Amino acid sequence: MKILNEGAYSNIALDNALSSVNLKDDDKALATELVYGTLKRLVTIDDMIGRNSTTPMKKIEDRVLGILRMSVYQLKYLDRIPDYAIVSDAVELAREWNPRVSGFVNAVLRSISRDDTVPRFRSKLEKMAYEESFPLWMVMHFSRNYKSRTLEILEGLNERPAVTYRVNTLRITREDALTELQKDGFSAEPTAVSPFGIIISGGGSVAANRLFSEGFLTVQDESSMLAAPLLEPVEGGTYLDLCSAPGGKATHIAELSGDRARVLAYDIYEAKIRTIMENAARLKLKGIEAGLHDAGEPMPEFFGIGSVLLDAPCSGLGIIRKKPDIKHTKTQEELDGLPELQRRLMDVAKLYVKTGGSLVYSTCTLNPSENEDNVRWFLENNPDFEAKRIQLGDHPNLIYSEEGFVTVLPSGTMDGFFLSKLVRRTSKS
Ligand SMILES: C[S@@+](CC[C@H](N)C(=O)[O-])C[C@H]1O[C@@H](n2cnc3c(N)ncnc32)[C@H](O)[C@@H]1O
């Protein structure tokens, strides 16, 4: 309820709720599955409730609706608990809340458990929205912009994300990290596109493993591991990461420079600065200077000083696998408002780039207005910058634009992501 009605972030609301009760690990895992699964399939679930309830959805009390939604998720998408037990638990929960609604909950859930009908669809996109459980406007957005790859995107965003770690190559090679993890009983394999990633698919808690606690590994999505190498960090260089919390890419820049570069890592939220410092400390990196700063405000003392990563605030449509609430909290209007902010940040970011230096612009969204259109606008208005072709090899998730920008489609180990590299020309180029 907090996530859908009060705009709380799913991961934070769930962590808070789970830490306030005493549950066994298995029960915590089930609670997590129920919350994320229900958020992921909510469009379809609500359609089913709407068709099987005599009370209009808008008139169902929030708490009762919450019980119905989670129960329908279990009835239609999980097979570990028999239907009668799901219905009886829901009725009991509803009765504890308000005895007068238990009959209603019973009737709706029994009707849904018997109901295998699907609604009539007026278009292919409506069918996709129902089957993949996305708001119709979002399916139309993907279809308009990514054409024949729409279904692949929707399916990718519904996948359970793999758990990936970046190897701190200052401390250990990927091969040695893999060998050690396998020795410790983990199922671990290398990521396909990034040369720094490891996928761990089983074997217990990595957080409790020496490799993690001693700073050999960082939790990071494989797509995010592709940004820092584009800056080609070197010893003695200066790099600004303007939107850097929690520091995933800033720490990568430091590692790639052999921790011999100056990495200025800023964010607009005070509390997040601490997270950057904690991550840098765990990885034993000394070159990171984290600070509070609004990327929209120029810092003249750093003009022309080095290279810049602008991992911009964005609509986040690429990370729906990890934050399914984005399906329900974002609106087309919100997407439309973001390019203005992102362009303002790009206009400031360019000021720090030295001749021959780079501006890497990235987002974790699938929206050309926040991605390619922004970068094309920037190039048109800044003839002293040129696009540098990004080459990450062939992989079905990667789409290269004519200019060499990269869109990563979501699936498996990769969030939906966008990467571009802009270089400030030298006078000869
Ligand atoms: C996509 S996240 C960055 C992730 C980070 N680069 C990493 O790899 O760990 C975007 C960040 O931008 C920050 N942010 C949003 N608006 C900002 C602004 N005007 N100035 C600086 N940071 C901002 C947010 O707090 C958020 O931490």
pLDDT in tens, 247-261: 999 999 999 999 999
Tell me whether residue 58 is in a domain: yes
**Which of 371, 415, 369, 330 shows the shortest CA–CA distance to 157?**
415
As a whole number of angstroms, the distance between CA 157 and CA 45 comes to 17
Tell me whether residue 6 is in a domain: yes
Closest protein CA for atom 15 of ligand 1 = 313
Asked whether residue 149 falls in the same domain as residue 241, the answer is no
Look up tokens 């409790």; give the residue: 208
pLDDT in tens, 324-383: 999 999 999 999 999 999 999 999 999 999 999 999 999 999 999 999 999 999 999 999
pLDDT at 205: 85
The set of catalytic residues is 364
Closest protein CA for atom 10 of ligand 1 = 313
pLDDT in tens, 178-208: 999 999 999 999 999 999 999 999 888 898 9
Cβ of 218 less than 6 Å from ligand 1: no
* CA-309 nearest atom, ligand 1: 6
User: Is the confidence metric ipTM above 0.95 for this complex?
Assistant: yes
Cβ of 272 less than 6 Å from ligand 1: yes
Peptide bond connecting 99 to the previous residue in cis, omega within 30 degrees of 0: no
Asked whether residue 97 falls in the same domain as residue 137, the answer is no
As a whole number of angstroms, the distance between CA 332 and CA 327 comes to 11
Asked whether residue 267 falls in the same domain as residue 313, the answer is yes
Tell me whether residue 332 is in a domain: yes
Ligand 1 centroid, distance to 269 Cα (angstroms): 8
pLDDT at 26: 81
pLDDT in tens, 43-63: 999 999 999 999 999 999 999
Q: How confident is the model at residue 2 (pLDDT cuts 50, 70, 90)?
A: low
Tell me whether residue 92 is in a domain: yes
Asked whether residue 246 falls in the same domain as residue 389, the answer is yes
The residue to mutate among 218, 222, 244, having the most atoms of ligand 1 within 8 angstroms of its beta carbon, is 244
pLDDT at 429: 57
Cβ of 311 less than 6 Å from ligand 1: yes
**Bigger pLDDT: 39 or 19?**
39
Core vs surface per residue 40-79: b (16+ CB within 10 A) or e: bbbbbbbbbbeebbeeeeeebeeebbbbbbbbbbbbbbee
Counting the structural domains of the chain, the total is 4
Ligand 1 centroid, distance to 244 Cα (angstroms): 5
Cβ of 244 less than 6 Å from ligand 1: yes
Ligand 1 centroid, distance to 88 Cα (angstroms): 45
pLDDT at 397: 95
| Binding-site positions | 243-249, 267, 294, 311
Query: Stretch 91-110: mean pLDDT, rounded?
Result: 96
* CA-341 nearest atom, ligand 1: 19
pLDDT at 152: 98
pLDDT above 70: residue 9:
no
pLDDT at 22: 76
Asked whether residue 153 falls in the same domain as residue 208, the answer is no
Query: Stretch 10-23: mean pLDDT, rounded?
Result: 70
| Binding-site positions for S-adenosyl-L-methionine | 243-249, 267, 294, 311
Query: Over the chain, what is the mean pLDDT?
Result: 95
Domain encompassing residue 24: 2-114
Asked whether residue 370 falls in the same domain as residue 228, the answer is yes
Tokens of 208: 């409790």
pLDDT above 80: residue 23:
no
Closest protein CA for atom 17 of ligand 1 = 268
Asked whether residue 33 falls in the same domain as residue 148, the answer is no
| CATH number assigned to the domain comprising residue 30 | 1.10.940.10
Asked whether residue 10 falls in the same domain as residue 31, the answer is yes
pLDDT at 383: 98
Asked whether residue 289 falls in the same domain as residue 306, the answer is yes
Query: Stretch 387-395: mean pLDDT, rounded?
Result: 97
Tell me whether residue 295 is in a domain: yes
**Bigger pLDDT: 26 or 85?**
85
Look up tokens 């990269």; give the residue: 406
| CATH number assigned to the domain comprising residue 394 | 3.40.50.150
**Bigger pLDDT: 87 or 5?**
87
Cβ of 247 less than 6 Å from ligand 1: yes
pLDDT above 80: residue 221:
yes
Cβ of 121 less than 6 Å from ligand 1: no
Ligand 1 centroid, distance to 245 Cα (angstroms): 6
Tell me whether residue 102 is in a domain: yes
Asked whether residue 303 falls in the same domain as residue 348, the answer is yes
Q: How confident is the model at residue 7 (pLDDT cuts 50, 70, 90)?
A: low
Closest protein CA for atom 13 of ligand 1 = 243
| CATH number assigned to the domain comprising residue 178 | 3.30.70.1170
Q: How confident is the model at residue 106 (pLDDT cuts 50, 70, 90)?
A: very high
pLDDT above 90: residue 14:
no
Asked whether residue 192 falls in the same domain as residue 253, the answer is no
pLDDT above 70: residue 399:
yes
What is the pTM assigned to this prediction? 0.95
* CA-364 nearest atom, ligand 1: 1
Last residue of a domain, one of 219, 240, 267: 219
Ligand 1 centroid, distance to 376 Cα (angstroms): 22
The residue to mutate among 267, 294, 326, 360, having the most atoms of ligand 1 within 8 angstroms of its beta carbon, is 267
pLDDT above 80: residue 216:
yes
pLDDT above 70: residue 3:
no
pLDDT at 204: 82
pLDDT at 135: 98
Asked whether residue 266 falls in the same domain as residue 189, the answer is no
Tell me whether residue 429 is in a domain: no
pLDDT above 60: residue 314:
yes
Tell me whether residue 279 is in a domain: yes
The residue to mutate among 9, 11, 268, 293, having the most atoms of ligand 1 within 8 angstroms of its beta carbon, is 268
pLDDT in tens, 278-293: 999 999 999 999 999 9
pLDDT at 24: 77
